[in-house]
């Protein structure tokens, strides 16, 4: 694969991603693109970033097709929530009248037949900014 040549504006955008993007993967991909722009070979980039050659080729291909947006993962990657078929408001209603995470867990199991750990419940409640009622 040939060297990727960038405009000054694109170089600035990639540097901004490296400095400010909270997610690790887009930062690493932006760094690979910048290294290519500086004349580094695929093998040198693999060595510098400690990644597989196949990953770098994939990043370059995604970048060439999609530009800056190609550096980011597509929506929908990763494990789906156990509660995807349950209305958040239903869980919120249970949590608002519950003394503990264990109680919320048992009510969800009873009402929706969905088993989960207490940690899963805690994470879901926190992510959805739901606070338990504490008496």
pLDDT in tens, 4-54: 889 999 999 999 999 999 999 999 999 999 999 999 999 999 999 999 999
Residue numbers of the domain that contains 39:
8-71
pTM of the predicted model as reported, rounded to 2 decimal places: 0.60
Establish if 50 belongs to a structural domain. Answer: yes
Q: Please name the residues in contact with 9: beta carbons below 8 A apart, sequence gap of 6 or more.
A: none
pLDDT band, residue 63 (cuts 50/70/90):
very high
**Residue 56 and residue 21 in one domain:** yes
Our count of domains for the chain comes to 2
Average pLDDT over residues 85-101: 86
Q: Are residues 66 and 92 in the same domain?
A: no
82 assigned to some structural domain: no
Residue 134, in any domain of the structure: no
Question: Are 63 and 100 in a shared domain?
Answer: no
Task: Check: CB of residue 14 under 8 Å from CB of residue 33.
Answer: yes
- Among residues 22, 122, 1, 37, the alpha carbon closest in space to that of 72 is found at 22
């Amino acid at each position: 694969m040939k060297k990727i040549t960038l405009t000054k504006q694109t170089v600035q955008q990639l540097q901004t991603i490296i400095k400010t993007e909270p997610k690790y993967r887009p930062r690493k991909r932006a760094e690979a693109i910048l290294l290519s722009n500086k004349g580094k070979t695929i093998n040198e980039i693999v060595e510098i970033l400690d990644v597989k050659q196949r990953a770098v080729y994939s990043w370059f291909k995604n970048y060439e097709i999609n530009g800056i947006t190609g550096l980011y993962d597509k929506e929908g990657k990763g494990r789906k929530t156990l509660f995807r078929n349950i209305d958040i408001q239903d869980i919120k209603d249970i949590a608002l009248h519950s003394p503990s995470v264990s109680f919320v867990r048992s009510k969800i199991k009873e009402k929706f037949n969905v088993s989960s750990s207490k940690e899963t419940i805690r994470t879901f409640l926190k992510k959805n900014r739901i606070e338990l009622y504490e008496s």
